[in-house]
């Protein structure tokens, strides 16, 4: 392990020496790197899918759409727009004879930590804006997805010189060794608890951070919506990747008189999507990542049932497969209503007064996302104006992350910063303000501002009245 830690130190120093060369690369040079990354990812897609299935049985379709295509789409967005994003932005100057510009320059040495639930996408998606902004990077894939980690190492080592982009596998010891180094910017995706550790480490070196965390993302359903149309959207978001998505709907608020109809549609969706002849189709259901998380979900379910909740469907555990589950009559004091579920369990809560729902949401840490289903603009505006979340989608779930012109990220407990599209370019850039003053001559204002000051204060006070 000592040699491995020495290698981290060596690469860090190598990148420190090389970062000024990378900083001066043109848009065309950065785009070329991204295009090469795109081609290699497409070439290795079968191996990537195989790795994701080995790590936690991710369905091949989900592996391609949510992991591979997400990275490809982000690359395409940068290739299309990077020239424009890198251009200095001229702004009005209030200094006579001067011009002012904002120049985007790279933050420098960046550290990127991936999470295990989307171990490929969450490693390479932030790498794209880091490269686009002209940084050097060290990547740390999740040790909880070892097969995906290995194919990621293969891709990085085949494509990049370690003086520009390097990757180190390992667990907590490697993560701590990396956090000891004076990076300029750190991006971490994972739990709020570990995010606090990362932020504390960054503070030692005054490094900026991007923290993509999580939270209990609520769904509010208004009385007048068409449940037949909206339930598939909600259920897809809840059960894709077996609920192991930071943006997944965590729990549902619906009017009492609509609850049973809602549950019927959810049960119908589960049967149509995941069962064949009454048997769960294991190929289309992602596994829970490990035994520890299976046990965590069991404990949440058992605690809720012990407190009076009813399992309306699911609740079955087969190895690392957790059947899609619906709960009703869940007390607010149950653990499942206190912790982020991060699994395929859907608590369905009822309400009579929207203000009570808003009060409950505001009593918890600010979620990564909030979802409102309503055709009533007053209801939508009321919820948006009286709550806070990292982002929101109206009449769907999770879709705001797919809109490249919207910033994506959390707020406070659910995260800090944004990193998709142009917001990612800005996140990995330092916006340097530059004033160009005329080199020849002086004006009256310059002369007035200089010493000696005798008699000038009275003139100044007259001017600002």
212 noted as active-site residue: yes
DSSP of 200-219: HHHHHTT-EEEEE-----EE
Residue appearing with tokens 């990354």: 37
Across the beta sheet with 109-113, the strand order is 165-167, 136-140, 109-113, 185-189, 208-212, 415-416
102 contacts: CB under 8 Å, gap ≥ 6 = 88, 89, 91, 431, 432, 433, 434
Q: Measured between alpha carbons, how far is 425 from 441 in angstroms, rounded to an integer?
A: 39
DSSP of 398-445: SGGGG-TTS-----GGGEE---SHHHHHHHTEEEEEEEE--SS---HH
343 contacts: CB under 8 Å, gap ≥ 6 = 242, 243, 244, 288, 293, 296, 297, 300, 322
Please tell me which residue in 44, 74, 212, 340 is annotated as part of the active site. Answer: 212
SS (H, E, C) 19-65: HHHHHCCCHHHHHHHHHHHHHHHHHCHHHHHHHHHHHHCCCHHHHHH
110 noted as active-site residue: no
Please tell me which residue in 62, 74, 246, 427 is annotated as part of the active site. Answer: 246
Provide the annotated active-site residues. 212, 246
């Amino acid at each position: 392990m000592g040699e491995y830690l020495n290698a981290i130190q060596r690469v860090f120093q190598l990148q420190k020496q090389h970062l000024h060369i990378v900083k001066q690369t043109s848009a065309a040079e950065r785009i070329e790197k991204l295009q090469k990354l795109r081609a290699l990812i497409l070439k290795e897609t079968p191996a990537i899918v195989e790795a994701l299935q080995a790590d936690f049985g991710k369905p091949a379709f989900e592996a391609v759409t949510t992991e591979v295509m997400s990275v490809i789409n982000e690359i395409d967005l940068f290739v299309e727009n990077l020239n424009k994003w890198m251009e200095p932005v001229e702004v009005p100057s209030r200094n006579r004879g001067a011009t002012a510009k904002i120049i985007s320059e790279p933050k420098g040495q960046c550290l990127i930590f991936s999470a295990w639930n989307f171990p490929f996408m969450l490693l390479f998606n932030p790498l794209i804006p880091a490269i686009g902004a002209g940084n050097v990077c060290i990547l740390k894939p999740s040790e909880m997805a070892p097969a995906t980690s290995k194919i990621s190492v293969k891709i990085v080592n085949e494509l990049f010189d370690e003086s520009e982009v390097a990757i180190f596998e390992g667990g907590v010891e490697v993560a701590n060794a990396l956090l000891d180094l004076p990076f300029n910017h750190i991006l971490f995706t994972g739990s709020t608890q570990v995010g606090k550790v990362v932020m504390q480490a960054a503070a030692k070196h005054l490094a900026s951070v991007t923290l993509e965390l999580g939270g209990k993302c609520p769904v509010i359903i208004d009385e007048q919506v068409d449940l037949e149309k909206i339930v598939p959207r909600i259920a897809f978001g809840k059960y894709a990747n077996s609920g192991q998505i930071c943006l997944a709907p965590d729990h549902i608020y619906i009017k009492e008189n609509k609850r049973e109809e809602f549950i019927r549609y959810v049960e119908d969706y589960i049967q149509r999507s995941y069962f064949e002849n009454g048997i769960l189709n294991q190929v289309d259901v992602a596994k829970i990542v490990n035994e520890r998380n299976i046990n965590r979900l069991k404990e949440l379910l058992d605690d809720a049932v012990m407190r009076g909740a009813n399992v309306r469907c699911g609740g079955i555990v087969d190895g690392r497969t957790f059947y899609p589950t619906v709960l009703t009559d869940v007390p607010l004091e149950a653990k499942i209503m206190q912790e982020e579920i991060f699994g395929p369990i859907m608590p369905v809560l009822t309400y009579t007064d929207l203000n009570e729902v808003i009060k409950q949401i505001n009593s918890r840490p600010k979620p990564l996302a909030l979802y409102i289903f309503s055709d009533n603009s007053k209801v939508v505006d009321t919820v948006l104006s009286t709550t806070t979340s990292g982002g929101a989608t109206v009449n769907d779930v999770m879709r705001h992350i797919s809109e490249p012109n919207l910033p994506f990220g959390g707020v406070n407990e659910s995260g800090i910063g944004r990193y998709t599209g142009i917001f990612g370019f800005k996140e990995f850039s330092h916006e340097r303000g530059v004033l160009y003053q005329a080199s020849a001559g002086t004006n009256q204002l310059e002369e007035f501002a200089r010493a000696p000051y005798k008699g000038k204060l009275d003139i100044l006070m007259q001017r600002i009245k």
